[in-house]
A = this chain, B = another copy of it.
Amino acid sequence: MKIKVLILNCTLKYAPEVSNTEALAKKAVKLYEELGATCEILRVNDYNVRLGIYSDEGKGDEWPKILKKIKACDILIIAAPIWFGVRSSVAQLVIERLDGTYEEGDKKTGQFPLYGKVAGVIVTGNEDGAHDVASNTLFNLTHLGCTVPPNVDTYWVGDAGPGPSYIEAGGDTHPYTNKTTRYMVHNTLFMAKLLKKNPIPTNLKKLTEEAFAYSKQKEDTKKDYAG
């Protein structure tokens, strides 16, 4: 079974400037490929992605090109630098644009396009903020339909205060980061294969109808008692 991995590099730097986040992403790619997966790293700001919350914001918006790749992947990794303790504006933009996919639920099950996909995150920063970036990003991706296996965040940060970034600081030899990169690669691959063979059967549409009917009935009952 061929697994496709898409890594969205949410660096603030325009190509060809060297991205620290990409340096760590490349290490994940190497491991994924050794295990037979196909990988693509896409630098989001190589594209003209307009602000917005729809899947196509018109006027030269190139998000649809990225979204097409997202829909085609099995494992979606957001790779983001930390700025001021939180994820980069580009990572936030990516999440905002994915809002549009809520509107594209499957006609029968209501499942959003990201259902069945597996998520992971790669974070780099010269200092503090990795937990915030990872927790918000993985959580947002579960809202959108992704599954998050254990230990699928890998990050590198330096100690307190400004300092050198991943490449310059020799993050390449940081044992913890190298360990968690391996955990992420193995656990996302396992889960992606498992979910391809065993798709999530939940019918969101039906459950929504049930919930709304239940809420309405309860509300009506309350009114009866009040009246």
Contact = CB atoms under 8 A, between A and B. Distances in A.
A163 B8 CA distance: 30
A179 interface: yes
Contacts of A144: 150
A173 B218 contact: yes
A148 B142 contact: yes
A177 B132 CA distance: 21
A211 B179 contact: yes
Give the interface size bracket for A toward B. Answer: 35 or more
Contacts of A88: 92, 96
Within the oligomer, what is the number of copies of this chain?
A: 4
B150 A145 contact: yes
A138 B128 contact: no
A68 B180 CA distance: 27
Nearest to A124: B160
30 contacts: A12-B52, A12-B96, A13-B51, A14-B51, A83-B95, A84-B96, A84-B143, A85-B139, A87-B92, A92-B92, A128-B157, A135-B135, A138-B138, A143-B151, A145-B150, A147-B147, A147-B148, A147-B150, A148-B148, A157-B160, A160-B174, A161-B176, A170-B219, A173-B215, A181-B211, A186-B202, A186-B207, A190-B200, A191-B200, A194-B198
Interface of A: 12-14, 45, 51-53, 83-90, 92-93, 95-96, 99, 114-115, 127-132, 134-136, 138-140, 142-153, 155-162, 170, 172-183, 186-187, 190-191, 194, 198, 200-202, 204, 207-208, 210-212, 214-216, 218-219, 222
